[in-house]
Amino acid sequence: MASSSKLSPHVIVVSFAIVYVYLSTIFVFVKQWFGLGSSPGIMNTVAFTAVAVMCISNYVIAMFRDPGRVPPSFTPDIEDSNHPIHEIKRKGGDLRYCKKCSLHKPPRSHHCRICKRCVLRMDHHCVWMNNCVGHANYKVFFVFVVYALIACLYSLILLIGSLTVDTQKDGEGSYRTVYIISGLLLIPLSMALGVFLGWHIYLTVQNKTTIEYYEGVRAMLLAEQGGNVYSHPYDLGVYENLITVLGPNILCWVCPVSSYIGSGLQFRTAYDHARSLTSTR
C-alpha cells in the first residue's frame, strides 16, 4: 500500500459527499419529481444507483490499488542492444537514481515524497483518495472521474426537474435546505470534474502524465532556443495512446478492470513498454 491508512480528512469529505448526493438524489429529487413507486421513479432510481455503484467501486479500487512499485532488484541494462536508450538525469548525464529509495528509476517513474517511494509512470499524488495515480491504477482513476461527472450531471438534471413540479406538495418546503446545499455542491463540482476530465483526456490522447506535461513544456522551450523541434517520446498517435492506457478492448474502457495484476507484472509491463516506445522514436 502507498500508505498505512487510507482514511484521511480528504477521503472522509469525498465519502460524505458521495453519500449525500446519492441520498438527496433518490429520496428527494426522484421522489419529488416522479415518486419512488412510479415506473419513471424506479427506472431513475435503478439507473442512478448503477452509476453511483460504478463511481464508488472505481474510487475504492483506485484508492487501494498499488499504483506500481519498482522492484528492489531492478538495474538498467545499459548493454541491451535492443533498448539502447535510457532516461538520464537533467544534470550530469547519469542514469536516473533515487537516493531516497536507493534504487535506479525506470523510465517514467518518479519518487513520491508523500508515499515515500518511487511510483511507476507516476501522474500525481491524489489527496482525495490518499494514494498516488500511477501505472497500475491510472485507468481506474480515469474511469472514476468519468462516472463521478456523470453522477453529478445526472443528479443536477433530477434536481432541476424536481423543481418544475408543483411546489405546493406536502412536505416539499422541508427540502429547501437540501436543494440549496445540493445546488451549491453539484454545480461547482460538475464544472471542476468537467475541467479535470478534459485535462486527463488531453493527457491520455498524447500519452503523457501530468509530470511529463510540465517537463515537456520546459523541454519544448529549451528545444526552441536551440532551433530544434520537441516531440514527446511516448506519443504513438491518438488511438494507440488510448489503448495503451484504457486497454485494447473498447467495451472495457469504462469498466473497473485492469490488465496489470501484481507488482512484478506491473513493473515489467511499465518498464518494457516505456523502453520499447523510446527506442522506436
Catalytic residues: 126
Structure-block grid coordinates of residue 117: 517511494
Integer Cα distance of 14 and 97 in angstroms: 36
Nearest CA among 85, 49, 120 for reference residue 267: 120
Contact assessment for residue 129 and residue 139, using Cβ atoms and an 8 Å cutoff: no
Residue type, position 207, single letter: N
Integer Cα distance of 207 and 36 in angstroms: 45
Residues for the chain: how many in total? 281
Structure-block grid coordinates of residue 28: 428527494
Round the CA-based radius of gyration of the chain to a whole number and report it. Answer: 23
Read off the DSSP letter of residue 172: G
- CB atoms inside a 10 Å sphere around CB 115: 20
Element spanning 133, H or E? strand 131-133
Integer Cα distance of 85 and 114 in angstroms: 30
- Give me the residue label for grid cell 536507493: 102
85-88: Cβ within 8 A, 24+ apart: 85/275, 85/278, 85/279, 85/281, 86/275, 87/278
